[in-house]
Structure 1
């Protein structure tokens, strides 16, 4: 892929705008550099770049002077770690718009993101969509004003999503949702959503803060405290809680994320309200959660109730073929050893089945998933 980039700048010597990724979220391609890019990977005319990359190092390579006229940069990363040998190269005075997103959480926000932002002295528009581990306190409005907004005198628009999380075991003071909301009272953008979740079993706390409406493609660690809203740009969602997710919760998720493509659920608590959902047309039409674009579901770490939630066609209507990640023993229980009629319709919608197993599989498995490519994985 890097060769393609090199060829692009060699052939199109006056390129102004480059968008380098697939329009489909599912088929997204990411560029990465094994070593510093070739000297031909540069442009003196490029003004706008929209690109998906592997890591923070790759982002720094783009900003080492090879695109010295760049004014607008949108970057989406897989992970953020301290750079190996790349140093921040000085002021990026031409950059006016900058957007950075990364789905996987980082422990290195202070060492990576803030120093990069401080190079952008003339920035006018900024978008940050990050999940960040913090040691002492959550990222809130005071942090954003002190460490970002006050350091950028030309900044006129700041769109953000922060999911900050910390261990709570030895903390004497744990801020509440009201405390986080109070920090945004005099914020330049007053349309801010914020809320806090604490998980006693895991001794962890999480705080979501974001401007609304949002342009983010990810929304991670949604709990029962999710305030709702409409998120047309979100393609990937993860759900987590130490309290059960009832069927109505999944109806809310579908309404808030109409373009959802990838969904991951982690919840080991059984549902409290389980009306009779065995297959009939009335229940299917009245109660089923209809996912228009869902193409990938991860239910590896869930109670059996959530496997029923997705495999009962009276609870979930899968309108596309789906890639499913699941533990074999859980699947075997819920499908009654691959004989249960209530789960047959949705199992026929599975195009690829990633099975994590500790034992040998039943001979009836493949017949029960007639359209699935089955990939076996060991549980370690």
Structure 2
């Protein structure tokens, strides 16, 4: 049998399109630009040219895709001028913004992503006369990530955000969609609004706003009429502090799509959240991700139907994650999982998951009710009763139980949350099956749990077994640059006073170590965590949830 060699040029255009669509647009353009006229015709299709992203998310920030000066100059001098009229959106790192925007005229450019912007780069870019006409006349969609490389200067971060944000709507005068994030997911600075600090943060034409803010005050501030045409508003709260007096209670008839999320608990659900929702009489899409303290009755299907859905006649999409929790009083009759599920039999939206956990030691009870598929970023206080599922959007997970978590439980968690970035754990009960693993001669059957995206791990309020669970390299694989928060004395015991080989590999992957308790700086600790910045912290009492 004779073998023939089929080259790229032997493949039909349709097959080449399918192959190229599997690749990054930047790689396609860089690799095949000007190879021949036929390939140029294919790669100049809007599939590869309408949206160019020159950045990518790494584990904790956004990095520039221009890996070398050769690649950067080839794009600026050859590729971008050839396709300039086809580009509708550009995503750029702050270091390359001015160069890329100056190399050609982009007549169809209307969307811009500016990443890793700090106050200095913002002033340089926003005050550039050459770029100002692009910003003012063409850009209708803007995505910005704020960057500050001083993790310890929180006030400096806030001031940088303030000075950058206040210029947005004077520089980009035609914005209809605005998204504001921070470059690092694990060190986000939430905005805290004040008229004196943000006199120009307003627009009469903005239709869509996605933003992180500090508290309910800021949420109310953004809905006080300064964005009176807003129809889509997604807001994430750093905390749920509620002002004593809530102002600006006017209706929001233009708002069609609203989502509210916070990973911390709120004690002002009836006072703040429900009244806010009742201002949105024309809402068509609603998303809620909340933890709510309740006195006597969990938030169940009946509550959602009567208190929310019935109040919004135009609502056609409702996605939610609500964990309500209460104190258990003497002789209190608590609903079971089956009782909660009965309230959801005729629920009009999606598939709904619900279950109840009771904590006898803490005298608390909690109820989960959420829509599935799950679109939220948080899933909090997971117990052994967790029903499983796949949660691709979740980035922050917390675990708590009064019963031990075994190795198999953590394996389930990793499979259910494959893109988890932040994990916290509270459990003071020792693992039951740990000794069986130790005594089992076939210990290799224990599955290694791999966390490829985890960059923040809180295990300061746990039994020693869980520190071993995450630091033993035979049980857990951690990627580099993890921030670890752990009790000092527990860490000292588990690592055998910072000499144990079984925990050495994962400890070498820690970039920042927060030790809680009365720990003291020692050479052995520093040598055991060779790449970590070490911070010593004291415990303070917090309200139990």
Q: TM-score range by the shorter chain?
A: over 0.9
User: Equivalent of 2:295, from 132, 135, 153?
Assistant: 135
Name the Cα RMSD after superposition: 1.8
Structure 1 residues 32-64: Cα deviation after superposition (integer angstroms, max 9, x where no partner)? 124566442210110000000010100001100
Q: Shift of residue 291 of structure 1?
A: 0.3
1:279-312 deviation line (CA, Å, top 9, x unaligned): x9x9678511100100011111100000100110
- Counterpart of 2:242 (choices 76, 82, 87) is 82
The equivalent of 1:234 in structure 2 is: 394
CA contact (8 A) 1:283 1:314 kept: no
1:117 aligns with 2:248: no
Give the 3-state SS of the residue equivalent to 1:353 in structure 2: strand
Look up the SS of the partner of 2:321 in the other structure: strand
SS in 2 for 1:345: helix
User: Does structure 1 conserve the Cα–Cα contact (< 8 Å) formed by 2:289 and 2:376?
Assistant: yes
Q: Counterparts of 1:256-275 in structure 2 under 5 Å?
A: 256-274=416-434, 275=436
The answer as to whether partners of 2:376 and 2:393 remain within 8 angstroms in 1 is: yes
Q: How does 1:236-255 map to 2 (within 5 A)?
A: 236-255=396-415
Deviates more, 1:206-215 or 1:268-277: 268-277
The answer to whether the aligner puts 1:211 opposite 2:371 as a matched pair is: yes
1:50, 1:283 → 2: CA distance?
49
Structure 1 gap segments, 5+ residues each: none
d(CA) in 2 for partners of 1:171, 1:265: 30
1:307–1:331 CA contact under 8 A, matched in 2: yes
Q: Which residue of 2 aligns with 1:298?
A: 458
Q: Residue 103 of structure 1: SS of its match in structure 2? A: strand
| CA–CA separation in structure 2 for the residues paired with 1:236 and 1:78 | 13
Report the 3-state secondary structure (helix = DSSP H, G, I; strand = E; otherwise coil) of the residue aligned with 1:253.
helix
Q: Conserved in 1, the CA contact under 8 Å of 2:232 and 2:258? A: yes
User: More deviation in 2-11 or 189-198?
Assistant: 2-11
Alignment correspondent of 1:7: 167
- CA–CA distance in 2 between the matches of 1:57 and 1:139? 24
Three-state SS of the structure 1 residue aligned to 2:390 is coil
Moved more, 294-303 or 167-176: 167-176
Q: Evaluate the alpha carbon distance shift between residue 362 and residue 320 of structure 1 in structure 2; reply closer, same or farther with a 3 A threshold.
A: closer
CA deviation digits over 1:162-200, x for unaligned, max 9? 010000123521000000010000100250000000000
Deviation at 1:84, TM superposition (A): 4.4
Q: Could you tell me which of 249, 257, 260 is aligned with 1:97?
A: 257
- Equivalents in 2 of 1:327, 1:27: separation in Å? 21
> 1:32 maps to what in 2?
192
Tell me what 2:29 maps to.
Answer: none
Q: Secondary structure at the match of 1:364?
A: helix
With 318-327 and 41-50 compared, the bigger mean Cα shift is at 318-327
Q: Highest relative contact order (Cα 8 Å, sep 6+), 1 or 2?
A: 1
CA distance in 2, matches of 1:338, 1:133: 41
When normalised by structure 1's length, the TM-score is 0.95
Secondary structure at 2:493 match in 1: helix
CA 1:52 to 1:285, structure 2 compared with 1: closer, same or farther past 3 Å?
Answer: farther
Segment of structure 1 superposing worse, 142-151 or 8-17 = 8-17
- Give the structure with the higher percent helix: 2
1:206-247 deviation digits (Å, cap 9, x = unpaired):
111000011110110000000000111111110000000000
Q: Secondary structure at the match of 1:323?
A: strand
Q: 1:349 to 1:359 in 2, by over 3 A?
A: closer
* Alignment of 1:189 onto 2:328: no
User: Which segment drifts farther, 2-11 or 208-217?
Assistant: 2-11
Shift of 1:14: 1.7
**Residue 78 of structure 1: CA displacement?**
1.2
Is the contact made by 1:140 and 1:180 (CA closer than 8 Å) also made in structure 2? yes
Contact 1:277 1:312 in 2 (8 A): no
Please list every run of 5 or more consecutive structure 2 residues that lacks an aligned counterpart in the other structure: 1-160, 541-545
